[in-house]
Amino acid sequence: MGDALSRRLGTNDAVVVGLGAMLGAGVFAAFGPAARAAGGWLPVALAAAAVVAWCNATSSARLAALYPASGGTYVYGRERLGPFWGYLAGWTFVIGKTASCAAMALTFAAYAAPGHERPAAVAAVLALTALNWHGVQRSVTATRVVVALVIAVLVAVVVVAAGRGSADHLVPSEPFSLPGVLQGAGLLFFAFAGYARIATLGEEVRDPARTIPRAIGIALGVVLVLYAATALALLSVLGPDRLGAAAAPLAEAAAAAGAGWLVPVVRVGAAAAALGALLALILGVSRTGFAMARDRHLPAVLDAVHPRHRVPHRAELAVGLLVALLAGTVDLRGAIGFSSFGVLLYYAIANASAYTLGRRVVPIAGLIGCLVLAAVLPWTSVVAGLAVVAAGVLLYTLRGRSPVAR
């Protein structure tokens, strides 16, 4: 068995990791597709996504306080529901979030190196993998800078839009459509996902029973405020139809508000946001892979901690190489849809695990919310997701043995 990880992170560091995971490319890209689905009811879709995210965060925080070990819902499912459910949580997280890593890398490259997206995406993945290799504290420091830049860009867009927007655009002109609102919520959930990244660092935070729940609550609260203000600003300037057709909604809103000087700043912020999210994602996926390797659900060679930097270096290297391969070959939209399906199933297992702790209203609401949002994703994402889940179940069955007792 590998060595224990070093507990270096306090509440502020853990909050930054969560913000870095949530304030990624999603906030710069998700509002357009969500507006196409929900129309002027976009704020309602955002509220629905926020409710599911809050339920998931609450369940994750309770479980993380009880099981402050690296691996997140992989550990919770194993301990509360049984070995198979823990394995399935780990499988959906690693596969879904690996696809999300590729999506973040491609989004970064689209903003930072148009015309050279794939080589730039691969280079970004390899560079961040090297950064993580040298210790999580350095990664948190870099993420802190990215988060500050993204927040500044979002606030600037909101302030500029406030002076040029129209209140008429905030009143829906089309009838309420529940399927449209739910689909919008499912798309917006991609922008929220990330708060549980704090829980996957359970072995690297100080006083985890107190730090993890507090950090998750703070990070999610900050993001909710920023997203709500951003959604209203975009609607007021562009209106639902124009917002739904926008490829780069925040940049177009800045231009429409007469702040041409802000457009390149927004583009830099979007690239930085994607890079920050990719940084946090590689951290989370590698830690879950490390935990699964300790239990022999993944190759035992990944169960290793670097003797100097005290990080799961082999798991980080494996994840980095796989993401680099995907970034060089896959389509951005397909990566996002597949990732959303896997992540929603992962959180569904988290809520099912929290259900066994009592106080069951929130876990039930979170479980139902996750399954509904997963079901309304594009059918291609659902079919591909189900196929990969089935492959994981088959692998577990063929392996024919339970995880190593811990």
Q: What is the pLDDT along the chain (406 residues), one digit of tens a residue?
A: 445 555 667 777 778 777 777 777 778 878 888 898 899 999 999 999 989 988 998 898 888 778 876 667 878 999 999 999 988 998 898 888 888 888 888 888 877 777 788 899 999 998 888 877 766 555 567 667 777 888 899 999 999 988 787 777 788 888 999 999 998 898 888 888 777 667 666 667 777 777 777 888 888 888 889 999 999 999 999 999 999 887 778 888 999 998 989 989 988 888 888 887 787 778 778 877 777 777 666 766 776 675 565 667 777 788 888 889 888 888 776 777 788 889 899 999 999 999 999 888 999 999 999 999 999 987 888 898 999 899 989 888 887 654 443 3
User: Has residue 30 been placed in a domain?
Assistant: yes
**What is the CATH number for 141?**
1.20.1740.10
For residue 278, give every residue at least 6 positions away whose Cβ sits within 8 Å of its Cβ, in sequence order, or none: 24, 101, 104, 105, 108, 124, 125, 128
User: Has residue 324 been placed in a domain?
Assistant: yes
Look at the alpha carbons of 310, 314, 318, 320 in this order and tell me if their dihedral is positive or negative: positive
User: Has residue 404 been placed in a domain?
Assistant: no
User: Has residue 15 been placed in a domain?
Assistant: yes
Are 36 and 181 in contact, with CB atoms under 8 Å apart?
A: no
User: Has residue 5 been placed in a domain?
Assistant: no
The encoded tokens of residue 234 equal 């975009």
The structural domain count of the chain equals 1
User: Has residue 252 been placed in a domain?
Assistant: yes
Q: What is the largest CA-CA distance in the chain?
A: 63
CA 317 centroid distance within chain: 20
User: Has residue 34 been placed in a domain?
Assistant: yes
Domain that includes residue 34, residue range: 11-398
User: Has residue 4 been placed in a domain?
Assistant: no
For the full predicted model, state whether its pTM sits above 0.75: yes
Instruction: Classify burial at 249, counting beta carbons within 10 Å of its beta carbon; exposed 0-12, middle 13-18, buried 19 or more.
Output: buried
